[in-house]
Amino acid sequence: MSLNVTVTAYCACPICCGKSDGITSSGALAKEKHTIAVDPNVIPMGSQVHLEGLGTFIAEDTGGAIKGNRIDVYMEDHNQALQFGILETKARLFKII
C-alpha cells in the first residue's frame, strides 16, 4: 500500500509530547531513525513504513495532532525536530509486525 503523506518531526520533550520519558504509545522507547507516530486508523501500529527520501521506520507512536495521512518522525533533539519542517512525500507499508 502506498500513501501520499505529510511528514513532520518531534522529540521526547514536554513541548512536543507533554512528557519527557521517551515512551511511545505502544510502550516502546522512541529511537531516532526508527520510530514514527501515525494515525492507527490509517497505518496500523507495528507497521514497517518506508518514507521516500527518509528511510524505513516502525509505527510505534501516536499523537493528538497525528490524524489521517500525517506522520511524525522521532528525533533526539528538539531543535533538529523544529528545523525538519514539513515534508510531502510517499509512504509505503512493507510489513505489519
Domain ranges, ordered by start, for the chain: 2-96
Nearest 5 degrees, angle CA 69-CA 72-CA 77? Answer: 165
The cell 518522525 sits on which residue? 73
User: Is 2-96 CATH 2.60.120.260?
Assistant: no
The cell 486508523 sits on which residue? 41
Rounded to an integer, the average pLDDT of 46-67 is: 95
Judge whether 19 and 84 are in contact, CB under 8 Å.
Answer: no
The pTM of the full predicted model, rounded to 2 decimals, is 0.93
Indicate the length of the chain as a whole number.
97
Percentage of the chain beyond pLDDT 90 is: 86
Judge whether 75 and 97 are in contact, CB under 8 Å.
Answer: no
Q: Coil, strand or helix: which one is 26?
A: coil
